[in-house]
Amino acid sequence: MVNLPMNIFGQWEIPDDFIPLFNGRDFTGWNIEPDSGGWYVKDSRIICSGKPVPPYLILTEKEYENFELYVDFKMSERCNSGIFIHQLPRGWARESRVGMEIQITDHAGRAVGRGSAGSIYDAVAPLSNPVKPAGHWNRYYILMDWPVLKIWLNGQLVQDANLEDDEITRYRLRKGFIGLQNHIGGGSKVSSIEFRNLYIKELPAKEEIRELFNGKDLKGWKTEGKAKWTVENGVIKATGGDGWLISEQEFTNYELRVFAGKYKNGGTSGIYYNWISQTEPGFKTEFHDWGPTPRRGFDHTATNMHFKDYLLTQIINYGNESFVRNNGNLIQSNLFHNTVKGGKIAIFHSANDGDVRIPKIQIKSIDEGSK
């Protein structure tokens, strides 16, 4: 169903299996901290004033994987906003590169592109551009049922994507928060946006993923070297000298996700994978801090905008090759030839770095023939 039926008062007749994401009165069910006054509720609408104040995104308190979602929005001139899906907590990575942003922008009548309304921002352009001009209400209907993502804008199909067929979207996160974006318009004019009628219906979950860190202790891991490894408030913390945190289990054919922050740059802290021993450590990708200086081999905007805490490193290890993605960007590829194609995961802390902090480590198997 693309358009919900309306009653004689112009209100939605909500199907029984949809539930509201917004109660029309306040931000119950949403995380808007730090509340700087940029977002408020009025007349059953969520309104973003467009002021350049945090939060950049407001996020649902609940995470969602597969779902159907209805959202109405109305833009002012020069508006640049979006609906974010599969999002991490704020401060974790670049939102539109590791999850997805369904673009909202004041581009009525323009040619389509990867930044048009209805696009998967900076990834997949929409099929058409039926967005209404500023000052008019628009409606999104989003069907997210991995790998299928279909989007209707004002009743017209604008996305019909198989996310696994696209190299840019294949390794995007498949579960997370839903977000609404605060983004000021172009030039000196401040733009605003309003949202109403947010309704969702959850669909069955599909992703099978395993937590390698339980959030409490280092069960399943062993240490070598002089580094000190502790767990504080659900986060692994590494300090001191050179040392390794090594998984007890070996892995082959997997996607590994490590969320990590390095708070002083100077050493070579990072992840070894296909680790056998210190003399056969496999391959390595390093952690980087996030000051204002671009890092060679990294997309500066992807690694330094809109976050402060953690970067996402994804390692895809399959058959005789591996790939490393940092914040959604491909930064490394390797061919194994006759070398070991599997092994343990070893996280390295360098004595020349400050703290390294890791709140989450996840892994999922890649079956033969499914890559």
Q: Tell whether omega for the bond before 34 is within 30 degrees of 0, i.e. cis.
A: yes
Tell me the average pLDDT of the chain.
87
Compute how many other C-beta atoms are within 10 angstroms of the C-beta atom of residue 145: 14
Which of 203, 238, 266 delimits the end of a domain? Answer: 203
- 9 in a structural domain: no
Alpha-carbon gap, residue 120 to 283, rounded angstroms: 32
By residue range, what is the domain housing residue 143?
19-203
Is there a single domain that holds both residue 151 and residue 117? yes
Report the chain's C-alpha Rg in angstroms. Answer: 22
- 13 in a structural domain: no
- Find which of 53-57, 314-318, 336-340 is predicted with most confidence, using mean pLDDT: 314-318
What separation in angstroms does the CA of 86 have from each of 73, 94, 163, 186, 370? 20, 12, 13, 27, 22
Give the SS3 label for residue 303.
helix
302: part of which helix (H) or strand (E)?
helix 300-304
Question: How big, in percent rounded to 5, are the helix, strand and coil portions of the chain?
Answer: 5, 45, 50
pLDDT, position 265:
77
CATH code: domain of residue 222 = 2.60.120.560
- 148 in a structural domain: yes
Asked if residue 105 lies in contact with residue 116, where contact means CB atoms within 8 angstroms, the answer is yes
124, β-bridge pairs: 120
Is there a single domain that holds both residue 101 and residue 242? no
Residue 301 has pLDDT above 60, yes or no: no
Residue 341 has pLDDT above 80, yes or no: no
Is there a single domain that holds both residue 237 and residue 184? no
- 2 in a structural domain: no
Is there a single domain that holds both residue 253 and residue 354? yes
- 371 in a structural domain: no
Residue 185 has pLDDT above 60, yes or no: no
pLDDT, position 338:
61
Is there a single domain that holds both residue 112 and residue 89? yes
pLDDT per position as a tens digit, 42-85: 999 999 988 888 888 999 999 999 999 999 999 999 888 999 99
Is there a single domain that holds both residue 101 and residue 241? no
Is there a single domain that holds both residue 78 and residue 101? yes
| DSSP of 182-209 | ----STT----EEEEEEEEEEE------
Nearest to 125 by CA among 146, 143, 110, 145: 110
Residue 188 pLDDT grade (very low, low, confident, very high; cuts 50, 70, 90): very low
Compute how many other C-beta atoms are within 10 angstroms of the C-beta atom of residue 197: 20
Residue 6 pLDDT grade (very low, low, confident, very high; cuts 50, 70, 90): low
Q: Structural domain tally of the chain?
A: 2
- 3 in a structural domain: no
Alpha-carbon gap, residue 301 to 368, rounded angstroms: 35
Compute how many other C-beta atoms are within 10 angstroms of the C-beta atom of residue 319: 13
pLDDT, position 369:
47
Alpha-carbon gap, residue 24 to 3, rounded angstroms: 20
Alpha-carbon gap, residue 131 to 110, rounded angstroms: 10
Residue 356 has pLDDT above 50, yes or no: yes
pLDDT, position 279:
92
Q: What angle do CA 363, 366, 368 make, to 5 degrees?
A: 160
Give 90 or 119, the one with higher predicted confidence.
Answer: 119
- 361 in a structural domain: yes
Is there a single domain that holds both residue 191 and residue 241? no
User: In one letter, which amino acid is 110?
Assistant: R
Is there a single domain that holds both residue 257 and residue 322? yes
pLDDT, position 121:
95
Residue 297 pLDDT grade (very low, low, confident, very high; cuts 50, 70, 90): very low
Compute how many other C-beta atoms are within 10 angstroms of the C-beta atom of residue 353: 24
Which of 203, 235, 263 delimits the end of a domain? Answer: 203
Which of 184, 203, 222 delimits the end of a domain? Answer: 203
Residue 208 has pLDDT above 50, yes or no: yes
Compute how many other C-beta atoms are within 10 angstroms of the C-beta atom of residue 41: 16
What separation in angstroms does the CA of 344 have from each of 43, 45, 153, 199, 216? 55, 50, 46, 44, 21
Dig out the tokens for 73 from the structure: 């929005």
The model carries a pTM of 0.89
Dig out the tokens for 106 from the structure: 């004041």
Percent of the chain with pLDDT over 90: 67
Is there a single domain that holds both residue 217 and residue 337? yes
Dig out the tokens for 302 from the structure: 């992807």
Is there a single domain that holds both residue 138 and residue 271? no
Is there a single domain that holds both residue 190 and residue 226? no
Strand order in the sheet with 57-60: 30-31, 57-60, 177-181, 80-87, 100-105
DSSP-assigned letter for residue 112: P
What separation in angstroms does the CA of 272 have from each of 93, 252, 317, 325, 348? 21, 14, 12, 14, 7
Decide the pairing of beta strands 321-326 and 344-349: unpaired
210: part of which helix (H) or strand (E)?
strand 210-211
Residue 306 pLDDT grade (very low, low, confident, very high; cuts 50, 70, 90): very low
User: In one letter, which amino acid is 62?
Assistant: K
Give the SS3 label for residue 304.
helix
At 288, phi and psi to the nearest 5?
Answer: -130, 150
